Amino acid sequence: METFWEAFKRHGVSRRDFLKFATAITGLMGLAPSMVPTVVRAMETKPRVPVIWIHGLECTCCSESFIRSATPLASDVVLSMISLEYDDTLSAAAGDAVEEHRKKVMKEYWGNYILAVEGNPPLGEEGMFCIVNGKPFVEHLKESAEGAKAVIAWGSCASWGCVQAARPNPTTAVPVHKVIKDKPIIKVPGCPPIAEVMTGVIMYMVLFDRIPPLDSQGRPKMFYGNRIHDTCYRRAFFNAGQFVERFDDEGAKKGWCLYKVGCRGPTTYNQCGSMRWYNGLSYPIQSGHGCIGCAEDNFWDNGPFYERLTNIPVPKQETNADKVGAVAAAAAVGGAIVHGIATKLRNSGNKED
Amino acid sequence: MNNIKRLYVFSPSLRIWHWINFLSIMVLFATGIYIGNPFFIGSQGIEPALAHGETLTMGLVREVHFIAGYILLASFIFRILIALTSKRDRLFIPKFWTAEYWFSIFETVQEYLLLKSSKEVVPHVRNHLARTAYFFIYLAIFFMIVTGFAMYGLSDPEGFWASIFGWVVWALGGEFPTHMWHHWIAWIIILFAIVHVYMVVREDIVKRDGEISSMFSGYKFFKKEPFDAEDLK
């Protein structure tokens, strides 16, 4: 197989530009500048890794995010860094032809290709809620994973289940790790994940020929090691106790902390606060809307998005843990008083012995 | 009145622990309620980036919460140590394997429902319903310590606190549900405290056994030998 450097040369990239590129992606992957020579050597010697990218029950927002990656450009990743052998959404070919190609690639690179899964398999009705090439996606997934070196679970769908797995989960959609159990799985959650996080994960895997260091939940540590809250530029307002109470108040105009209008930054692990979106332009909190926690498990069920605490289902009432607690405490005090009076009456006839 | 027995119920360590526990829980609850639903206290005359810890701010309230949390953890460990060393301090373990336990529970429920006069029930140093309630409150405090330090520690998922308590966040289905559980159990502890104070005052007034002062002096008074007096020896 062709190495990156060979592929770059073939495209007419100069040695100087090649080194600049290696330096840029070293920084992007969260590695120290001292790692640049290692990255350069890897790019000179490692072959380009074949990638099979399949799509299950999903909205394709991961692909939409991916193709907007600016550093490196998604086109560079697809055309130079990896050899994207199969992607039924991006490829020009379709139908049986592209399926034949997938099988051929699997056989040729058995045990060496990376399987990228976008979306998840619905298990209900024997998987009939999501069909690829006339077969349930769950079979497509199992078949494609068999010879894979590792599986990348793109987005919250593949990592956690996301919207389609929210209550009541009518199609019994499950994350990839519930179906594929014998392969290393790298979860890259987010709805969608940040483009540069996606390309960063792929580059790490192809350059170092191993999966990135993962946390206890299977997410790459370098991208999911911090809460958004802990990297948020509005954090100072949180510590100072300056909060937006309503989206049309003075605090909102001044850009204060969105904690009280339901921001999930304090409970969400992602890079939005530091890498941001659209080539570092902005992220939800910067544009004045709280984080909805899309990179977290079950984020869709942990609503409402604009409340700090979840609602407790009381008919025709908006209520949360603190309101219920206060009412219960008042009832307990009242109950104690009533019980005390009743005790007094009950024992009033008894003589002290 | 000569036949009144004076029994030494609470060791000094237990009494000290009880009041430290009380104080830290009160501080934790008050600061916790503010943290869950904070409000702008007013301009502190200092820019936000520097306000942390300087004046009365969210940062300071959280710091107090964390300090009280450390005290609660330390006092909980202390409580376990004294239970290991002294039989007297193991009273909170419910003896649900004995028939007497279920009989006492039934009788105490009758007493509290005012179906039975407090004078008729078999006297106990610590009735089994109370022992059971304390047992669950210890569990609740333990739960608050675990979830609290998990959330506290996960600002550094590779750090010390996360390595000890971080697992609970994933067991509860993520950090947001952990916040919710932390709220609910906090309220359960406060509900317990209200009922606890009432029950203690009631016990003292109805039975005149020095229930309230026992947590200061260590002694309770009994007209008859309590059923579970053996547990103190």
CA-to-CA distance for B175 and B116, rounded, in angstroms?
Answer: 47
Within a 13 Å sphere around the CA of A196, how many CA atoms are in the beta-carbon half?
23
Mutation choice for A interface testing from B2, B29, B58 by most A CBs within 10 A = B58
* CATH number of B71's domain: 1.20.950.20
| Subunit contact B176:A309, Cβ cutoff 8 A | no
Q: Which residues of A touch B186 (CB under 8 A)?
A: 325
| Subunit contact B41:A241, Cβ cutoff 8 A | yes
| Subunit contact A239:B37, Cβ cutoff 8 A | no
CA-to-CA distance for A115 and B93, rounded, in angstroms?
Answer: 54
Inter-residue contact A111 to A149 (CB < 8 Å): yes
| Stretch (H or E) spanning B18 | helix B12-36
Q: Nearest-CA distance from A241 to chain B in Å? A: 5
When pLDDT is cut at 50, 70 and 90, the band that residue A293 belongs to is very high
Token readout for B180 is 């919710």
CA-to-CA distance for A200 and A25, rounded, in angstroms?
Answer: 8
Name which residue leads in pLDDT, A2 or B154: B154
Q: Which residues of A touch B41 (CB under 8 A)?
A: 241
> What SS3 state is found at A61?
helix
- Predicted confidence at residue A263, as pLDDT, reads 94
pLDDT digits (tens, 9 = 90+) for B172-207: 988 999 999 999 999 999 999 999 999 999 888 888
Q: Which residues of A touch B48 (CB under 8 A)?
A: 236-237, 239-240, 242
Q: Nearest-CA distance from A225 to chain B in Å? A: 7
Mutation choice for B interface testing from A267, A300, A337, A338 by most B CBs within 10 A = A267
Residue B105 domain-assigned?
Answer: yes
Inter-residue contact A79 to A73 (CB < 8 Å): no
pTM over 0.90: no
Q: State the average pLDDT over residues B98-127.
A: 85
Q: Which residues of B touch A237 (CB under 8 A)?
A: 48
Residue B203 domain-assigned?
Answer: yes
- Predicted confidence at residue A80, as pLDDT, reads 67
Domain A226-305 fold is Cytochrome-c3 Hydrogenase; Chain A, domain 2 (4.10.480)
pLDDT digits (tens, 9 = 90+) for B121-130: 888 888 889 8
- In the predicted model, is pLDDT for residue A146 greater than 60? yes
The percentage of chain A sitting over the pLDDT mark of 70, rounded to a whole number, equals 95
Q: State the average pLDDT over residues B8-37.
A: 93
- Predicted confidence at residue A160, as pLDDT, reads 94
Domain total in chain B: 1
| Subunit contact A329:B187, Cβ cutoff 8 A | yes
- In the predicted model, is pLDDT for residue A351 greater than 70? no
Pairing of strands A114-118, A150-154: parallel
Residue B230 domain-assigned?
Answer: no
- In the predicted model, is pLDDT for residue A270 greater than 70? yes
Q: State the average pLDDT over residues A166-180.
A: 93
Which residue in the set A302, A333, A350 is minimally distant from B119, CB to CB?
A350
Q: Mean pLDDT of all residues in chain A?
A: 88
Residue B232 domain-assigned?
Answer: no
- In the predicted model, is pLDDT for residue A157 greater than 90? yes
- In the predicted model, is pLDDT for residue A210 greater than 80? yes
When pLDDT is cut at 50, 70 and 90, the band that residue B88 belongs to is confident
pLDDT digits (tens, 9 = 90+) for A76-116: 777 667 788 898 888 888 888 899 999 999 999 999 899 99
Name which residue leads in pLDDT, B225 or A224: A224
| Subunit contact A324:B167, Cβ cutoff 8 A | no
Domain residue spans in chain A? 1-46, 48-224, 226-305
Identify which of B9, B100, B191 has the alpha carbon closest to the alpha carbon of residue A329.
B191
| Stretch (H or E) spanning A340 | helix A321-347
- Predicted confidence at residue A16, as pLDDT, reads 92
Residue B233 domain-assigned?
Answer: no
- Predicted confidence at residue A350, as pLDDT, reads 60
- In the predicted model, is pLDDT for residue B37 greater than 50? yes
Using CA coordinates, name the residue in chain B closest to A305.
B176
| Subunit contact A239:B118, Cβ cutoff 8 A | no
User: How far does CA A124 lie from the centroid of its chain?
Assistant: 24
- Predicted confidence at residue A279, as pLDDT, reads 83
- Predicted confidence at residue A353, as pLDDT, reads 47
Q: What is the ipTM of this complex?
A: 0.84
Amino acid at A140: H
Q: Domain A48-224: give its CATH code.
A: 3.40.50.700
Other Cβ atoms within 10 Å of B180 Cβ, number: 18
- Predicted confidence at residue A79, as pLDDT, reads 67
Phi and psi dihedrals of B35, rounded to 5? -65, -35
- Predicted confidence at residue B76, as pLDDT, reads 96
- In the predicted model, is pLDDT for residue A220 greater than 90? yes
* Domain that residue B85 falls in: 5-224
Q: State the average pLDDT over residues B13-23.
A: 94
Maximum Cα–Cα distance for chain B, whole Å?
70
Which residue in the set B36, B178, B206 is minimally distant from A308, CB to CB?
B36
Q: How far is CA B162 from CA A126, B73, B150, B172, in A?
A: 40, 15, 6, 15
Q: State the average pLDDT over residues A28-41.
A: 86
CA-to-CA distance for A85 and A108, rounded, in angstroms?
Answer: 11
